[in-house]
Structure 1
Amino acid sequence: MKKKELIEKLNNYGLKATHQRIAVLDTLLKTRTHPSAEELYKIIVKQYPTISLATVYKTLDSFKEVGLVKIIKTDCDYLRYDAIISNHFHLYNPAQNKLEDYYDNDLKNMIENYFKNKKIDNFELKEINLQLIGDFK
């Protein structure tokens, strides 16, 4: 994504396009591994040596607040960040601590239709997160 597009994306989410926000968003969009804040920091600091880990955390928090990123919590309580906010699922291998996107419209539609037809009393469903745990081959 070009710098102009990154600035526009931040502005569309109501965020001022600071150098730090542009760097974090650009790196997150290019990093398809669902990195942690620390992993993102290690990548960003090579190009922006003055950025701090605290700034990366605060930037990711501001992205989460406005819906620009999703936080994925693995079964080991490890927080990872996902810049793809459209509906999709995840494949996770705890031994490798590896997380990948998984797209299956049939599964997505089946789950959504199930909860459309079977409401949960006194509960408003806002989002469905599905993480399939197994081994990559």
Structure 2
Amino acid sequence: MNDFNLDQRLDADTFPLGDLPLCRVLLMNDARYPWVILVPRQNHISEVAELSEADQAQLWREATQLGSVMKTLFEGDKLNIATLGNVVKQLHVHVVVRKHEDATWPAPVWGNGSAEPYALELLASLRDQLIAHIDRLAFD
């Protein structure tokens, strides 16, 4: 995992928050939703099935644990976890907290409206909150 390369589109659309045992954690630059993206730090992987069974399990642990923390932190009504990869081939998992009053409820966030970039103050606060929680996650 030393020479990990992040897809250019993911790099352009997100802010790095840190690393979990398997994945790089990225904050999507869309203030309409609490939305992170997990990217396994393995090159040339586009499907979950291409990961080892142990890494598949780890990916799910990371997505569900981080998602649970985010749902509580942001008082969400629903947690969406999904892989799409129709635009960005590199395997990545979207973890999105949804609220009944959010911009596109109940429709999906993907391809629905235009992203609203974070204001710098809100971005800094949100990053600090998420980084603190990411650092506290425990994976055995």
Q: TM-score, normalised by structure 2?
A: 0.30
Q: Which structure's CA Rg is the greater one?
A: 1
Greater relative contact order structure (CA < 8 Å, 6+ sep): 2
Task: Kindly indicate which of the two structures has a greater share of residues assigned to strand.
Answer: 2
Task: Kindly indicate which of the two structures has a greater share of residues assigned to helix.
Answer: 1
Q: TM-score, normalised by structure 1?
A: 0.30
